[in-house]
Structure 1
Amino acid sequence: MTDGYPPIAEHGLIGDLQTAALVSTDGTIDWFCSPRFDSPSIFASLLDHATGGHLSTRPHEDGFQTKQLYIPDTAVLVTRFLTENGVGELVDFMPVTSDTPSKRHRLIRMVRCVRGAIDFDIELDPRFDYGRKQYKLNPTGHGAIFTAGDTTMSLSLIRGPEDERLARWEPTSGGELRFSLSLAEGQMRGVVLETGSETPPHDIPVARAQQLFDDTVAFWQDWVGQTTYSGRWREDVHRSAITLKLLTYAPSGGLVAAPTAGLPEQLGGERNWDYRYTWVRDASFSVNTLVRLGFFDEAEAFGKWLRDRGAHQVAGSTGPLDIMYRIDGDPNLVEEILDHWEGYRGSYPVRIGNAAADQLQLDIYGEAMDAIWNAHLSGIEFGQAGWTAIGKLLNWLAENWDQPEEGIWETRGGRKDFTYGRLMCWVAFDRGIRLAMAYGRPAPLERWTKERDAIYNQIMEKGWDPKRRAFVQQYGEPVLDASLLKMPQMGFISPHDPMWLDTLTAMEEELVSDSLVYRYDPSASPDGLRGSEGTFSLCTFLYVDALARSDRLAEARLTFEKMLTYGNHLGLYSEEIALTGEQLGNFPQAFTHLALIDAAITLNERLDAAAARGRRRL
């Protein structure tokens, strides 16, 4: 704990496929929004420890140790407390909701004593609407009700049949609620927080809480059991898959980039963004990744989300697709600053909304088309409505690909001719041509082929720097960019081509630091923002993938294994890693977990192929 803030990595994630919460290793829920991922917060002490709001549960005695783990193959989180007098556990989970939007969400905290005896102190201090709304507290004999405008949250107690008054209430002058639980070995009690419910607080029998626990465990284990992946690093892949599922908004199929807002890429810096939205890029990559794992229903849902975005948009200054949307498809993401919050460890400003939504980022069209192509290869159909949307996207792109843009990293230093954007435009036309030929659909193939080939020739002429002997970030500048690690993955260039191998070498000399990879060098390519940043976890996994495709398997495996050591105690990753190894940025980040899965699958396949070649030689 530093200045009242736990390290970002000292958290686990729970959720119900419409919203999520972070639970720190000291038993504090310090981030929770409801009823959706992108709704105003109820708990946000992670961004302001004094006024953000929290639910804490911890032993009364000092000097305890904590451990945290997930029930295997689930999103049910266990925080263990080891004291001199006993061992206690918090079991946190959210029963999974339906596929229709719901205002009702339940956060269940089971409190157990598994050895000896233990006293727990519980403090509930919600702060509605990012701490901007005052609330009223009404304690009852069965719990409490918090009311803030038209928002309500109830607290109900998990009780045993022999309990008369297990909890000792202590409402404070500040409005928070404090009480204690004294448990003997084998006892389980707890609390249930419920938002958006019209049911008043009521006693919840221990047996009912246990049934909700059993049902939630069964849901997650049944879901993970659908995967077709059985290769190396299976537990890491499964944990990443569960994390991606937790970041999915079930009613729309959209995937949020992260469940948090405002966590800094640099401590004390201004690179603090709101990631609780669905990026076209992330959703597209998720289709490819989930198909590779065998989760076809989720891939199809994301594919429909993409199709609907393309079908319902009208081309404007940033094209027929926005780069990101709210989880229900709303493109309104007005950015504002929460002036009343200090930010994580003083990292101000805290932003909600995201002004990057208005940027032109041409790469999203290639990523969307690559997702549709991979879905086709897996038997997922897109229908006539989908083909109409594809035609609209590619015809717009044919007129607009050759222009400056903001790029994949959403820099705020003005539009430039980014090589990665051109690369993905090439991908868009390439996949569109393949789809038209595969389905026999009407398409201006001659025009699409002309544009595809023009992009290829332009990248080879302007994206290649003969002095650096590398493909570079933008035309006319010698800056390197780790996003180009996807060039062989996209089929633009062979992973054994001398031009690519020289590029890989140049990146290793400039962007790779003890296996960790920077996105680019901000000092060499000003991005319109102050400060610096850590290595980008996504890029390290892209590096593993690129090494494996170039048959540098020993290096790829070592890099992958080293990167796994930077995950937190639960196998979760934020956006970036500082020089100290500390995780930075919004947490956990979907992009990183997508790349981990892809790197693991690619490396596993290449290792198996190499082993098979060795056996054949014998």
Structure 2
Amino acid sequence: MTDISIADHGLIGDLQTAALVSTDGSVDWLCCPRFDSPSVFGGLLDPRGGHFRIHPAVPGSRVRQMYLPDTAVLITRFLTEAGVGEVVDFMPPADGAATNQHRLVRMVRCVRGRMRFAVELAPRFDYGRSPHAVHRTEHGAVFHTDALTLTLHPVREPDDPRLLTDVGLHDGDVHAAIALTAGDVRGVVLEFGADGPPREIRVAEVHRLFDDTVAYWRSWLARSTYTGRWRETVQRSAITLKLMTYAPTGGLVAAPTTSLPEQVGGERNWDYRYTWVRDAALAVSALLRLGFVAESVGFAVWLRDRVTARAGDGERLKIMYRVDGSAEIEEECLEHWVGFRGSRPVRIGNGAARQLQLDVFGEAMDSLFLADRCGLPIGHRGWQEIRGLLDWLTGQWNQPEEGIWETRGGRKDFTYGRLMSWVAFDRGIRLAQRHGRPADLGRWTAARDEIYEQIHDHGWSTRRQAFVQHFDDEVLDSALLRMPAVGFMTPHDPLWTSTMRAIEEELVADSLVYRYNPETSPDGLAGSEGTFSLCSFLYVDALARSGRLDDARLAFEKMVTYASPLGLYSEEIDATGEQIGNFPQAFTHLALIEAAVTLNEALDARRDGDAR
């Protein structure tokens, strides 16, 4: 429902797709059978987009939402004078091969007194473009389209008439009621791609699904080695990232949503339901630092496979892929949808897939280098593909591109793209030397050194006393906060400390950081945007590396206050503190983990030094 804010949602999923559940008890975003499939529930972007709502039949309840600790099980609590009820939402993990069969479990419990719940099941298939037929049976209902079948199973005990009373069909939707007293547990299971007809599901069976799902998430999280100061915040980010990982391939979607606006009412609305190379690359580092070796291996393998595919078809590494690893992504607009709070256009697909963004080569090489250092070596075939990639890059790095922010104002010589091209060659050289691998070290070294000189000669502004966004102007760019993290310069170099001061003066507002100033750096789009949460955490990391630990800690603690009540972050934060942009965003949660670990290690080192 579009009157609910972006931050008033929880994320659940089964590792192949995910759903957003709002504080009013509505599943208003879910695509099936994959993250990048058409939506079944799209009420988040249009009131006619479909929803699955379970809520108290009498208005006026207070609502609280929480995750069951250390899990991805979401609990929405409704509190009234007459009673307290809960809707417990989860999806049993599908941590294996790709499947069209998925289950959304919605347990309904009465904790105190009495409560009557209303059920509204209104799917809208293929972004509301495909009609459906609905067939009601004695034991539930089935929704049919040519591409997908949804089956509604009631949860009840034998001979219990209280569940799904007043069941009715209206315009292809199901409406029903659930009347409960204290201690009752009932609910419904929505099954996608079911083989059989609806059936009554016993409460004990739903409890088993619940227990198995809880055990899965707690067992997975127990592998974390992080014991630092922000344990709950970091672990919630880790679970969120796991929820956005497509298990069959290991691909990490940038977000499970599309077209949530960077400016409400504006046109900066993009589809993030794909896997970006830079997101997957940062995930290798972030999750290794938490001890999730298997996930880091998965992301490293995903990156290796993309490099291999590039060499196989003669094309360069793409910047993004579908979750199954394919690269065919076309952008179109859903003209029949009004968008979140009137934010048009609603886009599906992403035209940036055709852009040249040179930084992705450095991101990929840095992550593979890190994986190698952590005991995940690159085999012969993988090295052959890396050689091919870097040999190709020696002839390609010195050209204009669209850059990390995927601007649509024309190609430019972006400093960050050059920086990460330097990283690509640097990591390749070090890998070759460490393992004695064959490589054209002369060409790679010459390219690396030329990039280094070019950044200092053309990416540095004497007037601004800072490294700038691109060579043709003096605009600042917070992506360059990564310069010390990738080893291009030391955090105490006067050139860097001066750049930090310039960024703080122009792009930092009370610890929140803008990507760049669109007014001074036209990006081909109308309107403005909020502060970029990724960049705010990059700022924390840069402060910590520069030894400004008190400033870093204050900035991190402020960012924690901007999280949603469930600890989730969208892409941006507007001037009022509201979360905007696609939600939740993987890049932000990855940067949070990196900043938390870097800052925690620095604080520990200072503490230990003071103790001595």
Q: CA deviation at 1:315?
A: 8.8
| 1:119 partner SS | strand
In the aligned structure 1, how far is the partner of 2:278 from the partner of 2:313?
19
Q: CA deviation at 1:173?
A: 3.3
Say which of 329, 332, 335 aligns to 2:331: 335
Bigger CA drift: 484-493 or 147-156? Answer: 147-156
Say which of 217, 221, 235 aligns to 2:218: 221
Q: CA deviation at 1:383?
A: 1.1
Is this contact kept in 1: 2:297–2:371, CA < 8 A? Answer: yes
AA aligned to 2:564 is N
Is this contact kept in 1: 2:311–2:388, CA < 8 A? Answer: no
Q: Does 1:563 align with 2:559?
A: yes
Gap runs ≥5 in structure 1: none
State the partner residue of 1:10. Answer: 8
In the aligned structure 2, how far is the partner of 1:200 from the partner of 1:294?
43
Is this contact kept in 2: 1:366–1:424, CA < 8 A? Answer: yes
In the aligned structure 2, how far is the partner of 1:314 from the partner of 1:270?
36
State the partner residue of 2:64. Answer: 67
AA aligned to 2:557 is E
Q: Does 1:464 align with 2:454?
A: no
Is this contact kept in 2: 1:169–1:177, CA < 8 A? Answer: no
Q: CA deviation at 1:174?
A: 1.6
Q: Does 1:347 align with 2:357?
A: no
AA aligned to 1:415 is R
Say which of 243, 262, 265 aligns to 2:259: 262
Map Cα deviations across residues 35-55 of structure 1 (whole Å, 9 max, x no partner). Answer: 000000000000001x10000
State the partner residue of 2:396. Answer: 400
State the partner residue of 2:606. Answer: 610
Map Cα deviations across residues 14-53 of structure 1 (whole Å, 9 max, x no partner). Answer: 000000000001100000001000000000000001x100
In the aligned structure 2, how far is the partner of 1:214 from the partner of 1:575?
33
In the aligned structure 1, how far is the partner of 2:550 from the partner of 2:492?
16
- What aligned pairs does 1:438-453 form with structure 2 within 5 A after superposition? 438-453=434-449
State the partner residue of 2:244. Answer: 247
State the partner residue of 1:168. Answer: 165
State the partner residue of 1:134. Answer: 131
- TM (normalized to structure 2)? 0.99
Q: CA deviation at 1:89?
A: 0.3
State the partner residue of 1:150. Answer: 147
State the partner residue of 2:91. Answer: 94
AA aligned to 1:530 is A
Q: Does 1:83 align with 2:80?
A: yes
In the aligned structure 2, how far is the partner of 1:230 from the partner of 1:260?
31
Say which of 172, 180, 185 aligns to 1:183: 180
State the partner residue of 2:41. Answer: 43
In the aligned structure 1, how far is the partner of 2:18 from the partner of 2:77?
21
| 2:163 partner SS | coil
Q: Does 1:576 align with 2:572?
A: yes
Q: CA deviation at 1:175?
A: 1.4
AA aligned to 1:6 is I
State the partner residue of 2:30. Answer: 32
Q: Does 1:537 align with 2:508?
A: no
| 2:107 partner SS | strand
AA aligned to 1:390 is I
State the partner residue of 1:324. Answer: 320
AA aligned to 2:5 is P
Say which of 372, 377, 384 aligns to 1:376: 372
Is this contact kept in 2: 1:315–1:321, CA < 8 A? Answer: no
AA aligned to 2:242 is K
State the partner residue of 1:519. Answer: 515
Q: CA deviation at 1:299?
A: 0.7
Q: CA deviation at 1:98?
A: 3.3
In the aligned structure 2, how far is the partner of 1:385 from the partner of 1:20?
35
| 1:87 partner SS | strand
State percent identity of aligned pairs: 62
Gap runs ≥5 in structure 2: none
- TM (normalized to structure 1)? 0.98
Q: Does 1:271 align with 2:268?
A: yes
Give the aligned CA root-mean-square deviation in angstroms: 1.1
| 1:144 partner SS | strand
In the aligned structure 2, how far is the partner of 1:98 from the partner of 1:52?
28
In the aligned structure 2, how far is the partner of 1:610 from the partner of 1:480?
31
